[in-house]
Amino acid sequence: MEDILQEAMTTKFAVSALTAIAVVATIITMALPFFGDDKLSKRMKSVSNERERIRQRERALQQKQQSKTLRTQPKTYMKNIVERFSLSRWLNTDDARMLLASAGYRGSQAEIGFLFARAAAPIGFVIGTIAYFYFFEEPGGDLFVEGGACVAAALAGMKAPELYLKNATSKRQASIRRAFPDALDLMLICVESGMSIELAFKKVGQETGSQSVPLAEECALATAELSFLPDRRQAYANLAARTGLDIVRQVATVLNQSEKYGTPLGQALRMTARESRETRMIEAEKTAASLPPKLTVPMIIFFLPVLMVVVMSPAALQIMALS
278-287 contacts at long range (C-beta below 8 A, 24 or more positions apart): 279/247, 280/177, 280/178, 280/181, 283/177
Residue 318 has pLDDT above 60, yes or no: yes
Handedness of CA 155, 161, 167, 173 (dihedral sign): negative
The answer, yes or no, to whether residue 36 has pLDDT greater than 60, is: no
Per-residue confidence (pLDDT) for residue 33, from 0 to 100? 61
Count of CB atoms situated within 10 Å of the CB of 87 = 18
Has residue 40 got a pLDDT over 60? no
Give whole-number Cα distances, 168 to 131, 153, 161, 179, 288, in Å.
30, 22, 11, 17, 24
Q: What percent of the chain has pLDDT over 90?
A: 0
CA 315 and chain centroid, separation: 57
Could you give the CA distance from residue 51 to residue 145 in angstroms, rounded to a whole number? 67
* Mean pLDDT taken over the chain: 78
Residue 260 sits at the vertex; the CA angle it makes with 254 and 264, to the nearest 5 degrees, is 55
* Residue among 115, 118, 143 nearest 130 (CA): 143
What pTM was estimated for this model as a whole?
0.62
Q: What is the pLDDT of residues 232-264, one digit of tens each?
A: 888 888 888 888 888 888 888 888 888 788 777
Contact 234/225 with Cβ under 8 angstroms?
yes
Task: Determine the number of helices (DSSP H) and then strands (DSSP E) in the chain.
Answer: 15, 0
pLDDT exceeds 50 at position 283: yes
Summarize the confidence of residues 120-144 as an average pLDDT.
80
Q: So what's the pLDDT on residue 26?
A: 77
Report d(CA 67, CA 136) in Å as an integer.
Answer: 45
Look at residue 72 in the predicted model and tell me its pLDDT.
47
DSSP state of 323: -
pLDDT confidence band for 70 (50 / 70 / 90): very low
Q: What is the enclosing helix (H) or strand (E) of 225?
A: helix 213-228
Q: Mean of the pLDDT values across residues 270-294?
A: 84
Confidence of residue 298 (pLDDT cuts 50, 70, 90): confident
pLDDT tens digit sequence for 179-212: 888 888 888 888 888 888 888 888 888 888 888 8
Spatial distance between the Cα atoms of 240 and 135, rounded to a whole number of angstroms: 50
